[in-house]
Amino acid sequence: MNKGIITITDAEFETEVLTAEQPVLVYFWASWCGPCQLMSPVINLAAATYSDRLKIVKMEADPNPVAIKQYQVEGLPALRLVRGKELLESVEGVIGKEKLLSLLDQHLNNN
């Protein structure tokens, strides 16, 4: 587990995501999801690269239906970039590191 990535549940979502001082990348995954395993190194890279400007949280999909419903997650893996209560980006499926870093750069370099 990469330092800087926090595993949270629905109960912690408001505290860890909605009231966070910096943007939060929420990574929805499941243990049975093969493509999710492909995303883990990309998420770890994002955590290492943006730890000063971005908070990253992991949420296992099955035990956390509230956040899944709130952010309309239909496929896994899924990423949601949130600042306060505002949804900045929404991605479903595996994306490569270049695409993820580019997407994060768009939002994080504007601060």
Of 5, 36, 57, 73, the active-site residue reads: 36
51 is annotated as an active-site residue: no
Query: In whole angstroms, what is the distance from residue 81 CA to residue 26 CA?
Result: 6
What's the one-letter identity of residue 97?
Answer: K
33 is annotated as an active-site residue: yes
Query: In whole angstroms, what is the distance from residue 11 CA to residue 5 CA?
Result: 17
- Residues 1/57, Cβ–Cβ less than 8 Å: no
Of 33, 47, 57, 78, the active-site residue reads: 33
Query: In whole angstroms, what is the distance from residue 7 CA to residue 26 CA?
Result: 10
Residue with tokens 């600042």: 83
Residue numbers annotated as active site: 33, 36
